[in-house]
Structure 1
Amino acid sequence: MIEVRELTKRYGSALAVDRLSFTVKPGHVTGFLGPNGAGKSTTMRAVLGLDAPTSGEALINGRHYARSPHPMHEVGALLDAGAVHGGRTAANHLLCLARSNGIGRARVTAVLEQVGLGGVARKRVAGFSLGMKQRLGIAAALLGDPEVLLFDEPVNGLDPEGIRWIRELMRSLADEGRTVLVSSHLMSEMALTAHRVLVVGRGRLIVDTTIEELEQRYRRDVFVRSPDDRELARVLEAEGARVETPPDGGLSVHGLDAPRISELAFGAGILLHQLTPRSASLEDAYLELTDESVEYRAEGAAR
């Protein structure tokens, strides 16, 4: 389990993380979302002891990461796939890490096969593509068979097959009861991967919830089709709804839920052919939540 308690981190006058608190529990893939500059990477570095908090603390299984006697057996992390000596082979890179934590050569071979790099184990990392380096970084995170895993933008450079693979890997790790925290800017991917999401902006927690709860909270409308759309619109507007007519027909109803629309249509003797509540996508919800926290915005971008 990961616990962040009133974490604050300043770099001179810049406030990167501002009294941030959250808990990441086992058995879930937790998405860590936020605009550029929101404090995600700084928080993950603080969890791993790479940045010292200005105040507050970050704990893994109730203690600071630096106090773990065998850190790779407890925590696996991928923060920067490029942080590898290019002159080493993939196998030698992992073997150096393994020896520091009493891990045998057989485990190195196993994780290279697991991430799909068994065939290039003896090749130098300098010749690897970004996607191959990401796979090597993931292999390093898995090396100690840890119960807690942190991934910072793990799908960067991966092709569609690789993205599906890492998605299934993270979910399978969570299903085994491990704690998985993953940051990403790809909302469509997080909607398929994560069970829960932490959304941060300007170093503060905006929301901590499940994917389903977040999408439902930002429900867009109810789509309705009827042989008598015009009369149905009149009845719904009389009840206070805002009704729009999409170009392809039907009605987009705001301000009334599906059961109430059904009751009103029944009472007016109007037949319904379709009645579909439509929730916002994770991307829609995320953009609305973080609109005031975006640090860099292109000219003409929607607010």
Structure 2
Amino acid sequence: MIEVRELTKRYGRVTAVDGLSFTVRPGRVTGFLGPNGAGKSTTMRAIMGLDLPTSGEALVNGRRYQAIERPLHEVGALLDASAVHGGRTAFDHLDWLARSNGIGRARVLEVLDRVGLGSAARRRVGGYSLGMRQRLGVAAAILGDPAVLLFDEPVNGLDPEGIRWIRELMRALAAEGRTVLVSSHLMSEMALTADHVLVVGRGRLIAETSMADLSAQFKRDVLVRSPRPTALAAALTTAGAAVAQMADELVVAGLDVAEIGDLAFAHGVPVHELTPRSASLEEAFLQLTGETVDYRAEGANR
């Protein structure tokens, strides 16, 4: 389990994380979402003991990372796939990590095979593509078979097959009862991967909820199909709804499903479909974080 308690991190006059608190529980993939500069990477670095908090704390299984004797056995992380000496082979890179935590070479070969780098294990990392480096970073994260895992933008550089592979891996790790925290800018990918989401902006927690509830909070409209759409549209408009008509379909905003159904019944208009449509994860994310974006191109979100 990961616990972040009133975490604050300042760099001079810049506050990267501002009194942030949340808990990441085992058995599910938790998405860590926010615009650039929201504090996601800084928070992950604080959890991993790479950044010292200005105040507050970040704990793994109730302890600070620095207090864990053999950390690879308890927590693994992919924070920067490029942070590998290019002159080393993939095997040598993992081997020295393994030796530092009492892990045998058989495990090194096992994780290289699991991430698809078995055939490239003796090649120098300097010749790896970004996607291969990402896979090597995942191998390092799971090397000690830890119960807690952090992934910062893990799909960067991966092709479609690789993206599906990392998605399935993270979900499999969570299904084994592990704690999995993953940050990403790809909202469509998070919709397929995460069970629970943390949304941050300017270093503060904006929302913490399930993936399904996040979209449900931003109900957009109701799709209605009727053989008498014009009559129903007139009744709905009189009741104060905003209605757009397309053939036998109506898109209705301002009334919920029950209100539309009751109104149709009262006017004797048959209805063949009533479908509430929630915002996509991307739409919900933009609505939540719109006021916390520091840099926006001209014309964006208008």
Q: TM-score, normalised by structure 1?
A: 0.98
Post-superposition shift, 1:199?
Answer: 0.4
1:34 aligned residue: 34
1:222 aligned residue: 222
Post-superposition shift, 1:162?
Answer: 0.4
2:57 aligned residue: 57
C-alpha offsets along residues 51-70 of structure 1, whole Å, 9 cap, x if unaligned?
00000000011110110011
Post-superposition shift, 1:146?
Answer: 0.2
SS of corresponding position for 1:220: strand
Distance in 1, Cα, partners of 2:189 & 2:137 = 19
Percentage of matched positions with identical amino acids: 71
Q: Tell me if 1:301 matches 2:300.
A: yes
Give 2:229's aligned amino acid: D
C-alpha offsets along residues 198-239 of structure 1, whole Å, 9 cap, x if unaligned?
000000000000010011000111011212211101211222
Equivalent positions of 1:191-210 (< 5 A) are 191-210=191-210
Structure 1 portions without partners, runs of 5+: none
Post-superposition shift, 1:28?
Answer: 0.8
Post-superposition shift, 1:268?
Answer: 1.1
1:127 aligned residue: 127
C-alpha offsets along residues 74-110 of structure 1, whole Å, 9 cap, x if unaligned?
0000000000011111111000100000000000000
Give 1:71's aligned amino acid: P
Distance in 1, Cα, partners of 2:245 & 2:288 = 27
Distance in 2, Cα, partners of 1:116 & 1:208 = 34
Any conservation in 1 of the 2:3–2:22 contact (CA below 8 Å)? yes
Distance in 2, Cα, partners of 1:46 & 1:295 = 22
2:68 aligned residue: 68
Aligned length: 302
Structure 2 portions without partners, runs of 5+: none
Any conservation in 1 of the 2:227–2:248 contact (CA below 8 Å)? no
1:176 aligned residue: 176
Distance in 2, Cα, partners of 1:219 & 1:302 = 18
Give 2:9's aligned amino acid: K
Post-superposition shift, 1:175?
Answer: 0.5
SS of corresponding position for 1:276: strand
Q: Tell me if 1:150 matches 2:158.
A: no
Distance in 2, Cα, partners of 1:53 & 1:93 = 29
Give 1:102's aligned amino acid: G
Distance in 2, Cα, partners of 1:93 & 1:209 = 38
Which segment drifts farther, 211-220 or 250-259?
Answer: 250-259
Distance in 1, Cα, partners of 2:184 & 2:301 = 21
2:261 aligned residue: 262
C-alpha offsets along residues 14-38 of structure 1, whole Å, 9 cap, x if unaligned?
0100000000000110000000000
Post-superposition shift, 1:5?
Answer: 0.5
Any conservation in 1 of the 2:228–2:248 contact (CA below 8 Å)? no
1:92 aligned residue: 92
CA RMSD of aligned residues (A): 1.0
Any conservation in 1 of the 2:229–2:245 contact (CA below 8 Å)? no
Post-superposition shift, 1:260?
Answer: 2.1
1:188 aligned residue: 188
Runs of 4+ in 1 over 3 A off after TM superposition: none
Post-superposition shift, 1:249?
Answer: 5.4
Post-superposition shift, 1:299?
Answer: 1.2
Give 1:261's aligned amino acid: I
